[in-house]
């Protein structure tokens, strides 16, 4: 059973803004993902303020 009154040209015209919106969202999500990966690999992320190497290291000898 087919849909009544199908007009492909009108459907293309009506769906164009939604398709452009989805494309913009996909590009924005890709940009956010890329920047997130780039800054997390850089080492200057927000968690570096919490995790530092200033704590003294206790050496333990497992044979004792």
Mind listing the pLDDT tens digit for each residue in 50-63?
666 666 667 776 66
Segment 7-39, tens digit of pLDDT: 888 888 999 999 999 999 999 999 999 988 887
Give the pLDDT of residue 2: 74
Instruction: Provide the token pair at 54.
Output: 């200033």
Q: What distance lies between CA 25 and its chain's CA centroid?
A: 11
Could you write out the three-class secondary structure of 13-57?
A: HHHHHHHHHHHHHHHHHHHHHHHHHHHHHHCCCHHHHCCCCCCCC
pTM of this structure: 0.54
């Amino acid at each position: 059973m087919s849909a009544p009154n199908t007009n492909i040209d009108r459907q293309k015209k009506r769906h164009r803004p939604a398709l452009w919106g989805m494309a913009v969202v996909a590009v924005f999500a890709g940009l956010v993902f890329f920047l997130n990966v780039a800054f997390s690999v850089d080492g200057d992320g927000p968690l570096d303020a919490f995790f530092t190497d200033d704590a003294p290291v206790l050496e333990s000898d497992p044979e004792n």
